[in-house]
Amino acid sequence: MTLTDLHTHILPGVDDGAKDLEASLEILRKQKKSGVERVALTSHFYPMREELQDFLDRRQRAYEELLYAWDVDTMPQLRLGAEVHYSSSIADMDLRKLSLAQSDYLLVELSDTMVPAHIEQVLKIILSQGITPILAHVERCAYFMEDPSKLLHLIELGALAQITTRALHNKRRQKFAEICLQKNVAQIIASDVHGIWELKTGLGALKESLSGGTIERAEAFARAVWDNTPLPVFEPEPIKRKLFGYA
Ligand SMILES: [Fe+2]
């Protein structure tokens, strides 16, 4: 099985990920060696700090620099995307310019600590444009950990949720990340890699350690997003919070 990584910070010098071309190439070679054949380049975009066109121009320049050095035999296929930081203003933006290879999917990063204002209405507006929001690293969001029904509600509206590979090795987040995948409340696993050191817990490493078809199921979702084809059928189930974990 080959893998698809839909959340990475590999474009050189665009955000807090790969700092230069050399770092980008090193990450890509390592990804390919571990079985990752498709990589979305999802640089951070903060709508409150930067104009959309300025971000797109910076991203394009870095992409061209990377493509010039890219090698078909030793590196995965690449597509442009973005990790769009949530603000209610994104409902008014031309989100196709930020979606994964101008597909019908958009990676959206929510606040870790505060339930985002108007989240339900904004997600509905995005969905009404035929774009499916993928909520990035939901295992980090304290309000979802506290009350998983809040996340379930957004998934039932039509959003997808992504878990980061290193959360599955992290004491504080592992239980919540695992139960989200088990209950189909999260569907996608991605590395969110910023530097080569993070690939120790990347997708390729996870392939060896995760059992029970989890990685295969997550790959089926990631592949559908990559190909912009219908998603596997899934039924999210409620997660109950217990004193020391979830059920
Ligand atoms: Fe990220």
How many angstroms separate the alpha carbon of residue 132 from the centre of ligand 1? 18
- φ, ψ for residue 81 (rounded to 5)? -155, -160
User: In this prediction, what percent of the chain has a pLDDT beyond 90?
Assistant: 88
- Residue-wise pLDDT tens digits, 13-65: 999 999 999 999 999 999 999 999 999 999 999 999 999 999 999 999 999 99
Q: Are 133 and 126 in contact (CB under 8 A)?
A: yes
Calculate the alpha carbon distances from 95 to 8, 47, 62, 111, 132 in Å: 19, 11, 20, 19, 11
State in Å: Cα 104 to ligand 1 middle.
19
Strands 245-246 and 241-242, bridge-based pairing: antiparallel
CA–centroid distance, 195 to ligand 1, in Å, is: 11
Residue 45, phi then psi, degrees to nearest 5: -125, 125
Q: Which two tokens stand for residue 205?
A: 């490493």
Contact 125, 88 (CB under 8 A): no
What local confidence, expressed as pLDDT, does residue 212 receive? 77
Specify the pLDDT at position 93. Answer: 95
Distance 73 CA to ligand 1 centre (A): 26
Please classify residue 184 by burial: count the beta carbons closer than 10 Å to its beta carbon, then call 0-12 exposed, 13-18 middle and 19+ buried.
middle
Contact predicate 23/12, CB 8 Å: yes
Closest CA to 202 of 190, 219, 187, 194: 190
According to the model, what pLDDT value does residue 76 have?
98
Determine contact, residues 30/199, Cβ cutoff 8 Å: yes
Domains annotated for the chain, with CATH where assigned, are 3-246 (3.20.20.140)
For residue 7, report the distance from its CA to the centre of ligand 1, in Å.
Answer: 6
Q: From start to end of 46-187, where are the E strands?
A: 77-85, 105-109, 132-135, 160-164
Q: How high is the pLDDT of residue 117?
A: 94
Q: What pLDDT, on the 0 to 100 scale, is given for residue 31? A: 97
Distance CA 163, CA 109 (A): 12
Residue 243 CA to ligand 1 centre (angstroms): 30
Question: Please, what are the averages of pLDDT over each run of 10 residues along the chain (247 residues)?
Answer: 96 98 98 97 97 98 98 98 97 95 94 96 97 98 96 98 92 91 97 94 82 90 96 96 89
Q: Who contacts 194 (Cβ-Cβ below 8 Å, separation ≥6)?
A: 9, 16, 17, 18
Q: CB atoms < 10 A from the CB of 179, how many? A: 20
Q: How many Å lie between the centroid of ligand 1 and the Cα of residue 19?
A: 15
Tell the residue number behind the tokens 């209405």, with chain if given: 121
1 close to 207: Cβ distance less than 8 angstroms:
yes
Q: What's the whole-model pTM score?
A: 0.97
Look at residue 205 in the predicted model and tell me its pLDDT: 85
> How far is the C-alpha of 178 from the C-alpha of 45, rounded, in Å?
28
Cα 83 to ligand 1 centroid, rounded to whole Å: 6
pLDDT given for residue 127 in this prediction: 98
The rounded Å distance from CA 198 to ligand 1 centre is: 12
pLDDT of amino acid 120: 97
